[in-house]
Amino acid sequence: MKADVRLVGLGKRYGEVGAVEGLSLDVAAGELVSLLGPSGCGKTTTLRLVAGFITPDDGEIWVGDRRLSSRDAVVPPERRRMAMIFQSYALWPHLTVAQNVAYGLRFKSDVPRSDRDRRVAEMLRVVQLAGLEHRYPGELSGGQQQRVAVARALVVEPDILLLDEPLSNLDANLREEMRFEIRRLHEAFGITTLYVTHDQAEAMVISDRVAVLERGRLAQVGRAEDLFRRPRSRFVAEFIGKTNIIDAVATGPDTVARAALRLRVDAKDLTAGAPVLVSVRPHEIELSTGPVPRTPDNAFAGVVRRASYVGTAVDYQVTLAGTDVTLRVTAPVTVRLAAGDTVAVRLDPAACVALPPAP
């Protein structure tokens, strides 16, 4: 049964510290939303609130038309019709793979006993673990254990699926592979999913939408592309992908200045004199040898400070002439510059995002 999840003004405090504050988020039925942020941002607390392991201090959690959590009443985890995949997988060492996977089926009244084995076998096939039914978790590799955890969660056909950094214990290659696997499974089963991670690349690959959390609050939620191209705060800009931040002051509705530097940015209604942060992604800065183009906006002369060949691209640090601004630039390998070279730098105004100053 697909269901939507609504977090309404959720709050949880531990002593003086607010782990989650005023968090409101809607997850549509069948959607996969990532809770993304650095450690301590409250994403795991939020997940555990949704699971029912913690009671909120403020706010409510609704799934479909059931209010599952509020300050006064919490439906216990076993009655929320959810499933969870833990960071440590939490496989029971004294039960076989088949027994682990079959565990939740016992509590589903609509699955007769005779059907359980079939469903377990089917699910193990789906996660490509057929043949390992009688092994114990201790005998499996990390990747296999993870898939058992996935099978165990999916076989009960939960309304909501919760994942708590399920890939962080895997090595880099496996992690990449599993990202796609999880996305594939999501598309196959279509369960409403909340996915906690600190890895923004992972979030962007897996999710329908990403919710970025900073110190217990929702910083921004949206599709990966929106967050990437239109971050609405410095935190989000810096957390999602790499970026350059220029501290400037607005001089007009779409212009800013920092000392001698003048920039046209992608904005419409800046107040002159107001402080503004400009975010521009490294790969959206053009470098060229030869003279500085005469295009009216955002063209500067610069000096290369450092060049690092990364194989797929070249990473440069370029200081804009006559300013104290050094930008990080990711350029295609066709442009080979060395430290000390003079270079023409062009910033597309559409790629310069104006952000409010950090509070």
Which positions lie near another protein, rule CB under 8 A? 51-55, 74, 76-80, 82-84, 86, 88, 90-94, 103-104, 106-108, 152-153, 156, 162
Of 24, 86, 12, nearest to 55 by C-alpha is 12
CB of 148 to another protein, least distance (A): 11
| Shorter beta-carbon distance to another protein: residue 91 or 97 | 91
| Cα torsion angle, 118, 123, 124, 130, sign | positive
Determine the 3-state secondary structure of 185 from DSSP: helix
The letter for the amino acid at 328 is: R
| Shorter beta-carbon distance to another protein: residue 82 or 206 | 82
| Shorter beta-carbon distance to another protein: residue 94 or 268 | 94
Confirm if 288 and 276 have CB atoms less than 8 A apart.
Answer: no
Tokens 């004199």 belong to 273
Q: In this structure, are strands 326-331 and 82-85 parallel, antiparallel, or unpaired?
A: unpaired
β-pair partners for 347 = 285
CB of 56 to another protein, least distance (A): 11
CB of 258 to another protein, least distance (A): 50
Q: How many CA atoms lie within 13 A of 307 on its CB side?
A: 19
| Shorter beta-carbon distance to another protein: residue 105 or 213 | 105
Q: What values do phi and psi take at 326, rounded to 5? A: -115, 125
Q: Cα 119 vs. chain centroid, distance in angstroms? A: 32
| Shorter beta-carbon distance to another protein: residue 27 or 148 | 148
CB of 109 to another protein, least distance (A): 10
Confirm if 290 and 344 have CB atoms less than 8 A apart.
Answer: yes
Terminal CA-CA length for the chain? 42
CB of 233 to another protein, least distance (A): 33
**How far apart are the C-alpha atoms of 267 and 279, rounded to whole Å?**
12
CB of 249 to another protein, least distance (A): 50
| Shorter beta-carbon distance to another protein: residue 67 or 108 | 108
| Shorter beta-carbon distance to another protein: residue 157 or 254 | 157
CB of 88 to another protein, least distance (A): 6
